[in-house]
Amino acid sequence: MGMVKAIIFDWGRTLYDSENQMLFPGTEVILQILSKLYLLVIVSLASDGNIEKRLQIIRECGIEKYFTAVYFAQNDKDSLYTMALLRLALTPREVAIVDDRVVRGIRWGNANGATTIWLKQGKFMSEESDRKTGPPTYIVSRLEEICSLQL
């Protein structure tokens, strides 16, 4: 095991299939496995402003117990990462960021020295990293691949 002590997940299109309004298949089992090895956190945008609805979905799906903290904001996802790190008392080098978008979580993680895992699936899988975002540390096409990474 490396230095990573926590994994910060995006919510929509990473853990939760927004189009079909359900967790991606196998998500709970993966969270169960990872929660035994790492602190787990959700940091995500709720661009429609309906944060309570997302929290309710997390409770209804029965996965709330796997997370140390859950943060949503209507905009400014970057400040949520800072809040999460303060809450966890960890440095960026001690976290891995999992996101389906290189322009958000991957960009922040790379700029701040975190391990970055691009979940290349769905709507944003054709997004490419550039000099501004930097390349992700890892690229996976399925959530369960995270379990075999050497973090």
71-123 tens-digit pLDDT: 999 999 999 999 999 999 999 999 999 999 999 999 999 999 999 999 999 89
pLDDT at residue 27, as a whole number? 97
Residue that is written with structure tokens 């809040």 in the block: 83
pLDDT at residue 108, as a whole number? 97
Mark residue 122 as left, alpha or beta (left: phi above 0; alpha: psi -120 to 50; beta: remaining): left
CA distance 121 to 42: 18
CA distance 69 to 35: 12
Provide the H-helix boundaries in the chain.
27-35, 51-60, 77-88, 107-112
Q: Regarding the domain with residue range 6-148, which homologous superfamily does it belong to in the CATH classification?
A: HAD superfamily/HAD-like (3.40.50.1000)
pLDDT at residue 37, as a whole number? 96
Per-domain boundaries in the chain: 6-148
